[in-house]
Structure 1
């Protein structure tokens, strides 16, 4: 795993200062503490920071092809590189190293952009072709590895693994994009179609971009997509056998490493499944780690211990104080953009624990998106049944009225908190799912905005790109469209961003075997009954893993990493909650109503309502804007 950065001149190929590229890559040292390199030529410069995983001594970067006609900087892992190497060698390619980087170079020279379809892995890379004088930027199918880009005022095109790599360049504009603030307040993160800074873009998951010195930068090209419009046939036993095959391939392919390897183990279905298949494929005990809390309602360590004992893993755990809010400023520095998923804190802690013993850790991320494991997906499928029975002409007025008059009872038992369900049923399925996924609904955001912000946004709302994605999805049902949006929008923007930044902050490579693209493509074709049965999501996955895991692991309620933000803002962070309304960075923006923010804080501290989520969002936004302005 690594960090990459570089510059490419469009128009007149000017000389590139190696010191400038090195300055950009030095900000990414945490991504690659084991080595660094810079290469420049007329009009192009490539920089690299290396975390050694495969071919520890033999694959320094930037790397040149054996014939000197191409140069690459690469972040990620290609899991099928050995098979590709044998194929390419049979076609005449010459290799000087034993790693995967040189395989990408040879694949490019043989197949051009089509080489991407042959790569099984997580990656973001920049490849300069000396003959065509082109720069080829590419990102993996699901967006596991990030890539930020920007057009600079001198005509150069800059790229980096993290925003901080671009911020190291003095010509990058630091103008905040109001639409990114709208997106952030809606979702809790800045999605991949936007950046917090105007003029900065993220290369989308499953996209590439080809740039030439003598032409304006071409728009990104989508080279992969997932198709939910087809259905597999066959018995449940046949589908289960196929699923197990894909699961095994995903796990075993990600166990190749020249450094110590382990796994995160929460005791939930997904991480336990990964550990079970790792143990099946390993002659030595699997290294596993988990964190727990000293609050019983938040703690899963007993489940993790049971799975560890079942597979005789070398297990380590650490109890973390749930009042672990001291890393807030560190999180803002890791993410650069505002990021409000509070589970980033425990994710960072488990990465720190893993890094004490291993350099690579496998995770269970991706199964909820692929197999319909989120409660919101199960609810959405049931709501779609209601929509199918009642016409919109009836649903809209009835449920719309109920949604308006029903109290927002945060304190009540879940079955009495029906306001959001009524609001969702009053809308069409796509709009209802967007509302259910959002951190703050449009009307809640509107209460926070000043007139200046409303004018800056015009007719734009954060839901528009999300709804376009759902409505254009290659899908047959509402559940298909919801899962498609989760894989294309939520997964890269929230889950994979969280894991990438927290793992890379401690120089740990995290691998996601349940995001093997063959597994994702198979899961997309499963019948509904193989995904959701009754109130149970991930049905076929759980059924398939019954041969490995006990029922009380497979079928217990989902927990996930829980951070007690609500308690923090009524206790040790109450002062922070009040300070948000007085924040210099937020006040200077002119976008948010200070009196409204103050009311939110006081209502939460007094216990009149639970405003913890929006207060956390505002606090992380304030921290992020403060850091960005400090860089100017």
Structure 2
């Protein structure tokens, strides 16, 4: 795991500022504490920070082919590199290291832009081919590794593993993107390919960017999830194949020349990964978990049970709200506003793991691939109603009920009839957006100022989900929303959270459940193998029953989050008072209706309502503004696509 940066002049006529590239590279030093390297050529500068995992002594970067005409800087792991090397050697390529990085340069020589189709792993890399005068940048299929880029008006391309490295370049505008602001308050993150800055984009997962001097820049997708394979309908067959595939994906991710362990939350996915690791390891697996001291959020007892069952070398740590300045620290790690409150405990578990290992396996991906989120079952049930009730009647009847039914945020989700009625009165994509949004359209309208709503020019963040669902080549309602989550929530939320938290501690995290071949296979599973009534992940749970205690598998699902309601009314309430001041960062932007912001705070602190989610987003946005002020971020009132 590493960090990379680059500056590319498409004309090839301008010299690269070496000091500037080094400053960019230094901004991602936490991603690679084991070494730094640079490559300069006419109109080109590449920088790299290395976290040594494979071929510790010989895998230094930038790395070159035999004659030095191809150079690469790489972040990630190519797990199947040992399988690719013999094929490339048979074609005449000569290897000088034992690293997976060298596979990339020879694969490019052999297969060009199709080289990425041969890689099984997580990666973002930038490659320069001097002979072809071509820059090639690529990102892995599911978006585990990040890549930001900015195209400047003079034809210069600036790119890096994190936004902070790109923003070092003085030519990159700091104007905020209004549509990204709306998306953040809808989803709690800024979905790909947008960033919080209008001038900066994220290279989407499964895409490459190619720029040959003298030609136009190309941006293309090289992979997508397909739904046209032979359906898997038999539960017993699916269970057996899933265990086989999970074992293969886990074994691939155990290749390492440095100490390796695993996160153990006590949930289904991490427990399954630890169980499989234990069966493949000759020594005790090192496992790590976090507790909160609040029974409603604490799963450490379940993690402890799994640790005892498999005799792991287990380490646990409590998270408390007494960190000196948690919001500022989070803002500095994530660069963009990031509203998932579990980012803080995720950082803590990464910090704990890094004390003993350099690589940790996680259970990320199980919910998206196998239908584990509660919202999947709810959406599936409402879709059945949509199919049976005529559209006109559904809109009028459920729309009316949604307006008049009393709001009951205090009740369990399945008893919140108002929300259900509202969603039944909508079309499928809009209803799913209502279900996944942190702040729905009505709440955001109240939060934003009149001037900012005009600046949005009619744009609505629901466009992100609608576009993703429309792109899913299937009529199955469950598969559509899984696809949407895999394209939006997974790379923009889950994987960003883990990447920034782990890289802040120089820890590499690998996710066996996010193996792309396993993901492809999971899309062939019949809906009945994922959902059974309100129970999700049916086939995954059945498959791992021999490895994980039954009561742990089938207990109610909990998210990995913090007790925000209590902490915001207690240790962190002072931050809320500061946030609402007339001279504060939020008020200065002109984006918000500060009277309504103060009303949210008052209702929350008085116990009248639980506005934890909204207030956390506001706090994180304020922290972003304070952090970005060092770079003089500005807000320009003109939305752009």
TM-score, normalised on structure 1?
0.98
Partners in 2 of 1:443 and 1:435 — Cα distance?
10
- Which residue number corresponds to residue 347 of structure 2? 348
Specify the alignment match of 1:445 in structure 2. 444
C-alpha distance in structure 1 between counterparts of 2:130 and 2:575, whole Å: 54
Corresponding residue for residue 35 of structure 1: 35
Q: SS in structure 1 opposite 2:315? A: strand
The corresponding residue for 1:84 is 84
Structure 2 partner of 1:129: 129
Deviation at 1:417, TM superposition (A): 2.0
Displacement after TM superposition at 1:451 (Å): 2.2
Is it true that 1:533 corresponds to 2:510 in the alignment?
no
C-alpha deviation, 1:562, in angstroms: 2.2
1:414: how far off? 4.2
Deviates more, 1:607-616 or 1:493-502: 607-616
Partner SS state of residue 210, structure 1 = strand
Q: Deviation per CA, 1:308-342, whole angstroms, max 9, x where unpaired? A: 11111111111222565842211000000000100
Q: Which moved more, 1:292-301 or 1:513-522?
A: 292-301
Residue 484 of structure 1 is matched in structure 2 by: 483
**Which residue matches 1:93?**
93
Q: 1:229 to 1:463 in 2, by over 3 A?
A: farther
Gaps of 5+ in 2: 633-641
Residues 456-501 of structure 1, C-alpha deviations (whole Å, 9 max, x = no match)? 1112111113202102211221111100001011000000000000
Please state whether the residue corresponding to 1:224 is helix, strand or coil: coil
Alignment check: 8 A CA contact 1:120 1:517 kept: yes
**Is the Cα–Cα contact under 8 Å of residues 231 and 527 in structure 1 kept in the other structure?**
no
Q: Does 1:120 align with 2:100?
A: no
Aligned pairs, number: 631
**Where in structure 2 are the equivalents of 1:134-533 lying within 5 Å?**
134-218=134-218, 220-233=219-232, 235-321=234-320, 326-533=325-532
Q: Determine helix, strand or coil for the equivalent of 1:549.
A: coil
Q: Please name the residue that 1:549 is paired with.
A: 548
Distance 2:217 2:588 in 1: 34
Stretch of structure 1 that moved more, 224-233 or 418-427: 224-233
- The offset of 1:630, in angstroms, is 1.7
Mapped contact 1:453–1:592 kept (Cα < 8 A) = yes
- Per the alignment, residue 104 of structure 1 pairs with 104
CA distance 1:236–1:412, change in 2 (3 Å): closer
- Partner Cα separation in structure 2 for residue 228 and residue 616 of structure 1: 38
Name the Cα RMSD after superposition: 1.4
Q: CA deviation at 1:110?
A: 0.2
Gaps of 5+ in 1: none
Mapped pair 1:595 → 2:586 = no
Distance 1:586 1:301 in 2: 37
Separation in 2 of the partners of 1:112 and 1:213? 16
Give 3-state SS (helix, strand or coil) of 2:545's partner.
helix
Deviations 1:602-630 (A, max 9, x none): 11111111111111101111111221122
Q: Classify the secondary structure of the residue corresponding to 2:122.
A: strand
Query: Cα distance, 1:574 vs. partner?
Result: 2.0
C-alpha contact 1:228 1:484 (8 A) present in aligned 2? no
| Alpha carbons 2:233, 2:525 under 8 Å: kept | no
Q: In the alignment, what sits opposite 2:638?
A: none
- Measured after TM superposition, the shift of residue 121 of structure 1 is 0.4
Secondary structure of the structure 2 residue equivalent to 1:297 = coil
How far did residue 208 of structure 1 move? 0.3
How far apart, CA to CA, are the structure 2 residues paired with 1:350 and 1:325?
18
For 1:23, the equivalent position in structure 2 comes to: 23
Distance across 2 between alignment mates of 1:78 and 1:233: 29
Distance in structure 2 (CA, Å) of the matches to 1:294 and 1:599: 30
Native 8 Å contact 2:264 2:271 kept in 1:
yes
- Structure 1 distance, partners of 2:38, 2:50, is 12
Structure 1 Cα separation of the partners of residues 48 and 77 of structure 2: 15
Distance 1:217 1:243 in 2: 41
1:228-261 C-alpha deviation (Å, 9 max, x unpaired): 3545245322221111111111100000000000
Relative to structure 1, the CA distance from residue 474 to residue 261 in structure 2 (aligned partners, 3 Å threshold; closer, same or farther) is same
What is the alpha-carbon distance in structure 2 between the residues aligned to residue 443 and residue 334 of structure 1?
Answer: 31
Q: CA–CA distance in 2 between the matches of 1:416 and 1:282?
A: 46
Distance 1:156 1:62 in 2: 21
Partner of 2:11: 11
Alpha-carbon distance between aligned partners in 2 of 1:415 and 1:79, rounded to the nearest angstrom:
42
1:22-49 CA distances to partner (integer Å, 9 max, x unpaired)? 1101000000000001110001110000
Distance, in Å, in 1 between the alignment partners of 2:350 and 2:569 is: 28
Name the counterpart of 2:70.
70
Is the contact between residue 84 and residue 103 of structure 1 (CA under 8 Å) also seen in structure 2?
A: yes
The structural deviation recorded for 1:63 is: 0.9
User: What displacement does 1:412 show?
Assistant: 3.3
> 1:560-605 CA deviation, whole Å, 9 max, x = no partner?
3221111122222222223222263222221111111111111111
Contact kept? 1:21, 1:46, Cα under 8 Å:
yes
